[in-house]
Amino acid sequence: MSYRLDEFAAVDIDAITEFYVHADRRTAVRFINDIFNSLALLQANPRMGRLVEGSCRRFILRRFPFALIYKTDEIEKQIVVIAVTHHSRHPGHWQSRIQEEPAEYLLAA
């Protein structure tokens, strides 16, 4: 299974990395490595994270106080990362990022 970061998750990772770069570049590299290692684990076992909201799952990073919020797209065979969230942040702040399935409209003839 492959993975994809939605645009908000990519912004989250950039912001967190930038924060760590200012503190210590090695810490920033360790953070990115933790993200990639976590994604590799999820690719092998997409249901590894705990269900938190609907079909969304939460996977806690090993070395940093962050979690990946993701869902699986069984049709595309992808893990879609919705957010990278800090443990002390309001737990549901990412819920507004979940997009509803596109509605199907029937055209009247």
Take residue 27 and report the two structure tokens written for it: 């810490």
pLDDT of 33-72, one tens digit each? 999 999 999 999 999 999 988 889 999 999 999 999 999 9
Q: Which domains does the chain have, with CATH numbers?
A: 2-88 (3.30.2310.20)
Say which residue the tokens 């106080």 belong to.
65
CB neighbours of 24 closer than 8 A, spacing ≥ 6?
none
**Residue 74, pLDDT score:** 85
The model's pTM: 0.80
